[in-house]
Amino acid sequence: MRDRERRYDRSVLKWSISLLFLAVVVVWGVGGVLERAWRMQTANTSAFAFATMTPGTQTKAVVQLDQVAGEKLKGILLERESDTLYRVAIGNGSTVAAILTAETSVVMGRPQDIAAGAIVQLAGALDQHRVLRAKQVVILTDYVRLAESAR
């Protein structure tokens, strides 16, 4: 009778440890996914906020590109209405100049997707000439849409 109880206790212990290990792996995996999703949230930078940023400020901006000349980008700042709807920013600071560097990574797309008319999120720091030195470019062209009318 005691052997039966011990076997039962051992199997319960093994299953308990296995389930605990599985729970830890699931929590770790879900945490990683949520962290990446949080980092990938689209920017919500207003024209006023962008215009008042000082050199060295780390920022994210959603931009519709007008010009792409090699590593130099120029476009119009977009302001978020919802997760998938953006409007052209009105006011000072609505034009964004950016430069791609050797450290720039392209997320959710390919470097070939960086072209005039594309909607991208640029993340990086402003230099002394108010040019955004992009460390990350997220291609949003197929993910977001541009509102038809201005405010």
pLDDT band at 108 (very low <50, low <70, confident <90, very high): confident
Per-residue model confidence as pLDDT tens digits over 55-97: 898 989 999 999 999 999 999 999 888 888 988 887 665 889 9
Average pLDDT of the residues of the chain: 83
Task: Name which CATH class applies to 47-146.
Answer: mainly beta
Domain boundaries, the chain: 1-39, 47-146
Per-residue pLDDT at 37 exceeds 60: no
Per-residue model confidence as pLDDT tens digits over 13-32: 888 888 889 999 888 888 77
pLDDT of residue 98: 95
Q: How far is it, in rounded angstroms, from Cα 108 to Cα 99? A: 19
Size of the chain in residues: 151
pLDDT of residue 7: 59
pLDDT of residue 93: 59
Per-residue pLDDT at 1 exceeds 80: no
Per-residue pLDDT at 11 exceeds 90: no
pLDDT of residue 66: 93
Q: How far is it, in rounded angstroms, from Cα 27 to Cα 32? A: 9
